[in-house]
Amino acid sequence: MKNISAFAIALFIGVYSYAQQSYEEKVADSVALDEVLVTSASREIQKRSEVPGSIATLNAKSIKETKAFGIDQLVNQVPGVFMSTSRAASNEQHFMAVRSPISTKALFLYLEDGLQIRPTSVFNHNALLEMNDVSFGRIEVLKGPASSIYGSEAIGGSFNFITKNPTEKLSGSIGFQTNDLGLTRYEFEISDQVSDKLGFYLGGQYGQREDGLIEHSDYEKLAVTLKTVYEFSPTIKWTTIFDIVDYRSDMTGSLSENDFNGGNFESDQTFTEREAISFRVRSTVDKFWNDTNKTSFNFIVRDNRMDQNPSYRIRQFRNQGQLTGFGSGELNSNRFKSFVGLVQHKLDFSFANSSLILGATADYSPQDYSAETLDIIVDPDTGRNIDFTLNSGDFILNYEANIFNYASFLQYEISPIDALKVTAALRYDGFEYDYNNLADGIVGVDDAVDNFNNLTPKLGANYNFNTKTGIYANYSQGFTPPQVSTLYRNRNELRGIKPSRYNNYELGGYFTVPSKLKVDAAIYVLEGENTLITLRDENDQFFNTNAGKTRSYGVEYGVTWYPTKELSLTHNGSYAMHRYVEFFDSGIDYSDTDRETAPNLLGTSLLTYRKDFENHFGFNVTAEHELVGSYNTSFENQIDNQDGTFETAEYDGHSVFNLRTTIYYKSFEIWGHALNVFDELYAARASFNRFRGENSFTIGNPRAFHFGAKYNF
């Protein structure tokens, strides 16, 4: 904490000193922060300098230059964000870490144009595979709890993927990407303003992987987005978005320590897979009553199904340490539909440049879930799972749950003086889970109606010395109720899963020298109560439980320097500590210890050179360094050395270097990526398998080459 305090003092002194420049310099640099507009803090357009929180933006230029074939390549450019995915085998399946360990927990909110892509309590850590990244025009990441506006699950961060708007004239593109990891992808876009009132955008992709680095890692994905904007009049605008994603993927599973270090990437799985189909439609009517009153009416329908034969549920039976040739698993299916209404009204006042946002939302999401057991056939010589038999009717879970989330919220902003803006927000959430066990008397808990509610405040302030320099502070709360599948899974019946609550304290600052320098930094403390964590039991099965108290604290910073017009150097990083404050497991006290899979250091550095010539010819080249620091993979002293001593399992972290270049001429673009240039063996995520007494690894990509081409019209 001393280092963080010193950083805060240095940050304040630096910002204050910079603010003392001459009046002439201030006038000359009167752009900067006023040009940066964001929507994630309130669903309304506002200046970055008016948001009392850590928010980062990836604009259309950044997205275009990155030429990403995975969302992780985009969001990992944000300070303090680590989307952990293996492009070698994960097929868009992912973990996330923002102000928290690398995990699958419901600590992150995924939004499209400010609205949730999934209902509360049906979180899936792989939810971003249900997105169409071709349609992204902008990405905003708001770190820390945003529950006062968005509700639960907005704890570590909120990711707002903003779709492209219709273009004024007919335009579009056709693209193709491929790499030597087995991936090929086809893309298309078309957009036009077909009349004075109606415009549309249509974008889609089809991607597949065959014969990747790791065996049993094929996948296919089709995603299409249609957006229409109809202006009835200058004061009424109607926006509708249709999304459909059809996805199927093999589930490779992780590698053992021996296989990872020995370069044996043969999968233990031969039949595990995940299938998902996701349909969303969002319709919004914006009504401008006058210059000071605006109302947004939103209606959303979701229809989502995910079927799995998951690798993480397979257990191989052993006798005195030797494989018996048999094992168990499960086949599960989860489907939900949603009907959502959200009304938000903004009222601007002439008094002290103040404004009030009022809103209410209701989300009714019926869910069906079933899980049946499998008998697994294991090859005792190779350890591979080679076949399975479904035990039809032998349910682990089989239920219907009608989920109803209703909420109201308000946010008030006021500027007592021109340089200061104070923001206060409050939200009330109610949750009702109407659970109907379809296997009464056989498996599962009794029918139940469970209710949760929460009142979530937020208070923050911005002080802007001028249009390019400012500081902010905020206090915010976060809340997440138990997931339905977690609450009603058998082994949790007696464990009493509780809602998790968080308190976030944050101080930050930002300043820019237009075309020269941009700095954004924050320090924070995030305290959790009843934090949900996942453990393995004595039978090597995963289960969820609450840790009493946790604390994460650290510093996040982003710096971009432009030595010349063509050259830019960016470094985005974070240093954080993630601790158990109160935590007991199996009678052992792990309080005041480091949490597992929680790297202290995260960082991304980019050196980019851009050159434009006459005749619409140009190129850019980027050298990128990705850093993930070391971290514990187990609780303290879990590995038995068989000599009376114990130690903590660790992962050493990694550094990966990538190169990207794009050449464009008139309507054509071609690009190439050299990934992991030095061919470092690394893990996208490492975790400790208590049952085996060793680490298991989700492998990162080896040295690989990626190519793409696009024609724009």
What are the C-alpha distances in Å from 589 to residues 36, 537, 585? Answer: 48, 17, 7
Q: How confident is the model at residue 668 (pLDDT cuts 50, 70, 90)?
A: very high
Contact in structure between 225 and 163 (CB atoms under 8 Å):
yes
Task: Say how far apart CA 487 and CA 397 lie, in whole Å.
Answer: 12
Measured CA to CA in angstroms, residue 9 lies from 3, 6, 505, 610 at distances of: 10, 5, 16, 36
**With contact defined as beta carbons under 8 Å apart, do 271 and 309 qualify?**
yes
Count CB-CB contacts under 10 A for residue 42. Answer: 24
Share of the chain above pLDDT 90, in %: 66
pLDDT for 539: 62
Confidence bin at 536 (pLDDT 50/70/90): low
Average of pLDDT values for 397-419? 95
In whole angstroms, what is the distance from residue 259 CA to residue 687 CA? 15
* pLDDT at res. 7: 40
Distances (CA, A) of 226 to 132, 229, 469: 11, 10, 39
Going by pLDDT thresholds of 50, 70 and 90, the confidence category of residue 537 is low
Spatial distance between the Cα atoms of 521 and 8, rounded to a whole number of angstroms: 9
pLDDT at 195 over 70: yes
Decide: 261 and 216 in contact? Cβ < 8 Å.
Answer: no
pLDDT in tens, 132-185: 999 999 999 999 988 778 887 788 899 999 999 999 999 999 999 999 989 999
Report the distance separating Cα 197 and Cα 204, nearest Å: 24
Residue with tokens 């997931």: 483
Distances (CA, A) of 686 to 313, 607, 696: 18, 29, 6
pLDDT per residue as tens digits for the range 377-395:
999 988 899 999 999 999 9
**Looking at residue 33, what is its pLDDT?**
52
Average pLDDT over residues 66-89: 88
Rounded distance, CA 152 to CA 532, Å? 14
* Domain range annotation of the chain: 2-712
**519 contacts 559 by C-beta, under 8 angstroms:** yes
Give the highest mean pLDDT range of 14-23, 450-459, 544-553, 599-608: 599-608
Question: 423 and 460 in contact (C-beta within 8 Å)?
Answer: yes
CATH class held by domain 2-712: mainly beta
3-state helix, strand, coil in the chain (%, to 5): 10, 60, 30
Tell me how far apart the alpha carbons of residues 491 and 543 are, in angstroms, rounded to a whole number: 7
pLDDT for 194 equals: 94
**Token representation of residue 289:** 């009553």
543/60: higher pLDDT: 60
pLDDT value for 558: 95
455 pLDDT higher than 90: yes
Q: With a cut of 80, say whether residue 568 has pLDDT above it.
A: yes
Q: 106-110, 197-201, 343-347, 661-665: lowest mean pLDDT where?
A: 106-110
pLDDT tens per residue, range 418-442: 999 999 999 999 999 999 999 988 8
Cα 460 from Cα 105, distance rounded (Å): 27
399 Cβ neighbours under 8 A, 6+ residues apart: 368, 369, 370, 435, 436, 437, 438, 439, 444, 488
Q: Is the pLDDT of residue 187 over 80?
A: yes
What are the structure tokens assigned to 688, written together?
């400790």
Instruction: State mean pLDDT over 395-415.
Output: 95
DSSP string, 206-240: EEEE-S-SSSS--EEEEEEEEEEEEEEETTEEEEE
With the C-alpha atoms ordered 529, 534, 539, 540, is the resulting torsion angle positive or negative?
negative
Q: How far apart are CA 463 and CA 134, in angstroms?
A: 37
Residue type, 149: I
**Average pLDDT along the chain:** 88
Binning pLDDT at 50, 70 and 90, where does residue 542 land?
low
pLDDT at 12: 38
pLDDT for 366 beyond 80:
yes
Could you tell me what percent of the chain has a pLDDT over 70? Answer: 92
For residue 129, what is the DSSP state? G
pTM for this structure?
0.91
> What pLDDT, on the 0 to 100 scale, is given for residue 701?
86
Name the E strands within 234-384.
236-250, 255-256, 273-290, 293-309, 315-319, 322-348, 355-378
